[in-house]
Structure 1
Amino acid sequence: MKTIDAYRSLRHHLLRRSGRSYGSLLLSNSPVIAELMGGMGYGHLIVDHEHSMTDISSGTALLQAIRSSALFPTTSNNNDASNMGDDTAWNLNRITEPIVRVPSSDPVYMKKVLDTLRLPGGILVPMVETATEARDIVRSVRYPDGNDGGARGFAAPLVRASQWGTMKGGTDAYLQQCKEDLLVAVQVETVNAVGHISEIGKVDGIDMIFLGPYDLSASVGKPGQFDDPEVKDLIQTAEQMVLECGCLLGGFRSPGRDLNDMLSVGYSLVTGGSDMGMLREASKKDVMGAWDLRSQ
């Protein structure tokens, strides 16, 4: 078994080692839940700013909570991960990395998120429709250096992302980390966007195309109908197009979808249930168990 020193970042794990990651979605805006789940052995946790109450301030607290669990790993992410098989393939027994899903491609909001995101980690931009949008996103996450046309405002020595300018190696080390350890992912969620996957995937700086099955199903007027032939065909077409363009394939696991099926298709990153969904189902099960006892 390899040591934690062999692990650099989720981006490196997926791109350079053909690795995989399984994670969850944080909707609760609760640092307590984020801290707990950060110690469970997930490869990644998506900190959601799109469909939750989370904003820059509360989102920073969630990032701090996830990182605190990474500093003090639990018995879960030390031992239970061995049940998943080869730890060189899975991002398990490692630091759980945050991926922040921003509300939109607004460069100002992305700048604030990036300034709070201690790397390694990632950023996920929803509802990306065209290659032009993808190029603008890459510009927003990159600093200007005279070559790549980055447009991110520079305050690196003064933000959380660089440990307030105290990280080993200083600002130069942080700038290098931004190039090597920031996973940049865009979500494809409509029929129109599926038609542009080939162009989006060719944009330099886009590491992953992440499929949103709920919005894809809604875009053909069949929200949540994942067994419908039209919905299944749309998702399968999108998956194949992502793989053909050479991007990493990521996505949410829709209800009833088999994880092994997704992996066999070619997913590198899969996000399963959300914290609120799991809490809801656990609460329902608890209440139903109590009612069952009462009826005896």
Structure 2
Amino acid sequence: MSQKTAHDFDQDLLILFDAYVHGGIDRRTFLDRASKYAVGGVTAVMLLEQLSPKFLAAQQVKPEDARIEQQYIEYPSPNGYGTMRGYLTRPAGAAAKAPGVLVIHENRGLNPHIEDITRRLAVDGFVAFAPDALFPLGGYPGDEDKARELFPKLDQAKTRQDFIAAAGFLRARPECTGKIGSVGFCYGGGMVNYLATQLGNDLSAGVAYYGSSPDAADVAKIKAPLMIQSAENDARINASWPAFEEALKAAGARYERHLYPGTQHGFNNDTTPRYDAAAAKLSWDRTLAFFRQHVR
């Protein structure tokens, strides 16, 4: 049977799943409300399973790929949780330094999909580093539901400092040229926008996939060019875009925004049915070109 896509599900069910993914409702509430869409022998539990990530099936660059080198590494975050951990990848056997990309996960921590994204960047010639915000709570637990339950327990003030520290750690790595960009997805997209307000010229470019907008008062501090990747069917995130754009224009910031028709929040994540192959390829090509323009 072929892999299901977003078009196989009712839009209201996708909105309900989005609320579950982002902590608006719990599992039981999702299942109760999803039962109305469970027809033809399909149960609400089966719908949730169909909508949930399939990491191995979607993996593009395997951990044993000879084109890359990789390691899990701890880094200091004195203003955050103290000691943090992330996943570092780089081109195998590279004699020259490479530009860096900080990869920021969704609201589940450093799961296999984000590790795969990090490896893809190494194949494309970058030193990529993906911190795990859940490390202070034991790290990504290997289960999306458990990760979703853990994430609200983080002190976000400390977690933001952990990502600021991660950016500095990557810039200072011996494999890195000292120029870095950042890409993030969902929660991570919002974190990219936040880092742009905090890092000044230490961030050379930011790409935010369907991420929340930063505080409007901080937008004037943005120095890095930004690329905003937006899904058409994403009312929760898109509602804040007009005010964000107005602040960017007022600040004279460099930015571009791409809206992908017919797509859902999470369209770049190829582990779930919300994935849109054409939009994901186009957006990723744009992301790589943006980094090659501004970070090299």
Q: Normalised by the size of structure 2, how large is the TM-score?
A: 0.32
Greater fraction of residues in strand: 2
Name which structure has the greater RCO, CA cutoff 8 Å, separation 6+: 1
Q: Normalised by the size of structure 1, how large is the TM-score?
A: 0.32
